[in-house]
Chain A
Amino acid sequence: MRNGVFAKLCCLVFAAFMLAPIVVVVGVSFTPTGFLEFPPSGISLRWFRAILDAPEFIEGGWISLKLGVISATLAAVIAVPAALAIGRGRFRGREALLALFMSPLMVPTVVLGIAFLRFLTVVGLSGTFTGLALCHAVIILPFVLRLVLASISGLDRATERAAESLGAGGWTVFRRVTLPAIVPGILGGWVLAFITSFDELTVSVFIVNPSTTTLPVRLYSHIAQTTDPLVASVSTVTILFTVVLMIVVDRFYGLDRLLIGEGKK
């Protein structure tokens, strides 16, 4: 059954709605004037050059980049063994373990934010990059875990048994057979975790200090005071960065699989 004209129209309106804020931000960032106007009265890179004179955004960008890489890697290193246990094992407490590792998605982010703030203040890590990275690792771990679990559940165990019967030890089987098979899941999870960390605001806004302020927090505090074309041009740069990442992920993993867990096979 095909879609009728009405359905196509609905999809068009929906697509316009979904893309509207993104198109507007990108459009506004090219304005030659000093205020927000859409559509822009001309095309100018003035506000992109202005980024170069705004060290706080450049520094925020580096911090977010570093934070995303470190916390996503930490989350992956912790999530992969846990996923092997949960995905393979039949043991008591397995369900509880899975629920625990997925729980950061259930707790309201603002609650996590103040809980981290309270904890880090008490242990003396408040505002530090270490504290920030550890907290980000906790909130992005569910994303890695879910994708690694999905790739483990689709795994054929026969190859592993064959390797074992040929005399390979546990570590060799993991390194030579299991790991290569779940690498797409790990990479997909890593990228999703990285993006989540890179974009994270609600937790970070509580636990950064002026020297560890991430890009989303910088953008937020700037927007909360004033909206000038500078925030639009900085946003456009991050949109471009995300689009490039999305294209890479789509080539190697499939975007639909990244968020639905199935799809392209």
Chain B
Amino acid sequence: MSETRRNWLLSAPGLVLFGVLLFVPLVMTFILSLNSFDFYGGIKPDIGPGNYFAVLGDGYYYTIFGRTFAIALVTTVICVLIGVPVAWFMLKMTPFWRSIMVLVVIGPLLISVVVRTLGWAIILGNKGIVNDALIHLGLIERPIKMMFTSGGIVVALVHVMVPFMVLAVWAALQRADPAAERAAESLGAGTVTIFRRVVVPQALPGILSGSLIVFSMSASAFATPAIIGGRRAKVIATTVYDEFMGTLNWPLGAAIAMLLLVSVVVVMLAWNRLVERRVEKVIG
């Protein structure tokens, strides 16, 4: 048996599983998005771009798409602002404290998003911990509305996403040469200068790959916006859910989902192009 044939044979079970349970369903969903729907007859097998026109011609959906990508963007920026310094501090810790911090970063990642979001719902609610504390301190009279707002979604999303950023930046910094920092220090650079001129450039590959992960995951997140945002701050994922499970207009839901998929893929490709050009610049 030739080497190549053996390799394909070893991959065959995976290829079959992914062919039947990933490729076929995605193609079926695309076709579904071209079907039409009426409330009496259900899904009709005709083909046409009607659903896409319906979504792209309705300001309601622009608001939802705009809100989703704004939330994803703000979440990504905050994750960079938190993740880069934390990863750098972690690198300089003693092994004991570093292992504690690794636990702090990775631990929440392994706990269900539903559970973590429940925690945020308790913290951010109108009778939640933050509002209670602020009222007790006399800083505010009426509770600040955080549940069912985009701001609340961002806070909880940052919590879900920031570990990915820390891990990506940390991996990049571990590959970097620590001598550069010492050299900068011996030449009289302060901590802020070292961070800005040495650490950030070294962390850049990690920042770029981390941002991509955080942005695409935030744009398609479901659990967090569903629990914190509810019906009042809808994002793309929760809208798709409502179309499928609420109004039962599957073709329209499929079209919205396809638009989400396309926009995430476009952002990813554009981002990769940007990263490649950036790397070329550094090397060339």
Contact = CB atoms under 8 A, between A and B. Distances in A.
A and B are partners in one complex rather than unrelated chains: yes
Interface in B113-129: 113-123, 129
A101 B222 contact: no
A10 B89 contact: yes
Contacts of B176: none
A1 B185 contact: yes
Contact of B244 (A1, A2, A22, A117): A117
Contacts of B174: 262
B268 A106 contact: yes
Contacts of A91: 3-4, 7-8
A140 B183 CA distance: 44
Contacts of A86: 7, 11
B209 interface: no
Chain A contact residues: over half helix, strand or loop, or mixed? helix
Interface residues of B, number: 87
B21 A119 contact: yes
A55 B103 CA distance: 33
A7 B24 CA distance: 51
A114 B253 contact: yes
A141 B260 CA distance: 23
A111 B260 contact: yes
Nearest to B94: A2
Which of A92, A110, A117, A198 has the most chain B CB atoms inside 10 A of its CB?
Answer: A110
B244 to A, nearest CB: 6
Interface string B223-238: 1001100100000110
B220 interface: yes
Contact of B108 (A18, A109, A114): A18
Contacts of A110: 220, 222, 236-237, 240-241, 257, 260
A17 B160 CA distance: 11
A137 to B, nearest CB: 7
Q: How many A residues touch the partner, as a band? A: 35 or more
Nearest to A255: B106
B93 A111 contact: no
A36 interface: yes
A93 B5 CA distance: 12
B122 A138 contact: no
B204 interface: no
22 contacts: A25-B122, A38-B129, A81-B10, A82-B13, A82-B14, A88-B7, A89-B6, A92-B4, A93-B8, A103-B22, A107-B26, A110-B220, A119-B24, A119-B25, A201-B112, A220-B227, A223-B118, A223-B227, A227-B118, A232-B122, A260-B167, A262-B171
